A and B are shown apart, each in its own frame.
Chain A
Amino acid sequence: MEEKYAVIFDHVSKIYSLKSKDKKDAGKRFYALKDISFKIPVGEVVGILGTNGSGKSTMSIILSGISNPEEGTITVNGEQALIAIQTGLNQQLTGLENIQLKGALLGFKKKQVQKIIDDVIDFAELGDFLYQPVKKYSSGMKSRLGFSINLALDPDIMIVDEALSVGDKRFAKKCIDKMNELKEQGKTIIFISHSLPQVKSFCTTALWIEGGELREYGDIDTVADHYDEYVQELNSMTKKEQKKLIKEKFEKRIIKEKPKKSLLNRLFE
Chain B
Amino acid sequence: MEGYILAFFYYVLICDTLKLVKNEGENMFQSIKYVLTENFSNVYRIYSIAKYEVLADIRDSRLGIFWNFASPTINVLTYWFVFGLVMNRKDVDEIAFFDWMIAGMVCWFFIRPCIVDGCNAIFQHSKMISKMKFPVSILPATVVLKELFNHACLMVIVFVIFIIQGIYPSVYWLGLLYYCFCAVCFSISITMCTSVLNMLARDTKKFVSSIMRLLLYMTPILWPLSRFDDIKWLQIIMKANPIYYVVAGYRDCFFYHLGFWPYRFRAMCFWAITITLFAIGSVLMHKFKAKFADLI
Question: A residues within 8 Å of B by Cβ?
Answer: 16, 61, 64-68, 81-82, 84, 87-88, 90-93, 97, 100-101, 104-107, 109-110, 133, 263, 266-267
Interface residues in B126-157 (C-beta closer than 8 Å to A) = 127-134
| B43 (CB) vs chain A CBs: closest residue | A109
- Beyond A93-B55, A97-B55, A100-B48, whether A68 also contacts B128 by CB under 8 A is no
Contact in complex: B48, A101 (CB < 8 Å): yes
B42, B56, B201, B284 — most chain A CB neighbours (10 Å) = B56
| A101 (CB) vs chain B CBs: closest residue | B52
- Beyond A66-B293, A104-B48, whether A87 also contacts B55 by CB under 8 A is no
B47 / chain A contacts, CB cutoff of 8 Å = 104
Contact in complex: B293, A67 (CB < 8 Å): yes
Contact in complex: A110, B44 (CB < 8 Å): yes
Question: B residues within 8 Å of A by Cβ?
Answer: 42, 44-45, 47-49, 52, 55-57, 59-60, 127-134, 200-201, 284, 290-291, 293-294
Contact in complex: B49, A66 (CB < 8 Å): no
Contact in complex: B290, A82 (CB < 8 Å): no
| Complex Cα gap A100–B55 (Å) | 13
Contact in complex: A263, B200 (CB < 8 Å): yes
Contact in complex: A107, B291 (CB < 8 Å): no
Contact in complex: A104, B44 (CB < 8 Å): yes
Contact in complex: B55, A66 (CB < 8 Å): no
Contact in complex: A105, B59 (CB < 8 Å): no
Closest CB in chain B relative to A67 CB, distance in Å: 4
B134 / chain A contacts, CB cutoff of 8 Å = 105
B130 / chain A contacts, CB cutoff of 8 Å = 61, 66
A61 / chain B contacts, CB cutoff of 8 Å = 130, 293
Contact in complex: B132, A105 (CB < 8 Å): yes
Contact in complex: A87, B290 (CB < 8 Å): no
- Beyond A66-B133, A100-B48, A104-B44, whether A263 also contacts B201 by CB under 8 A is yes
| Complex Cα gap A97–B53 (Å) | 11
B293 / chain A contacts, CB cutoff of 8 Å = 61, 66-67
A65, A91, A267 — most chain B CB neighbours (10 Å) = A267
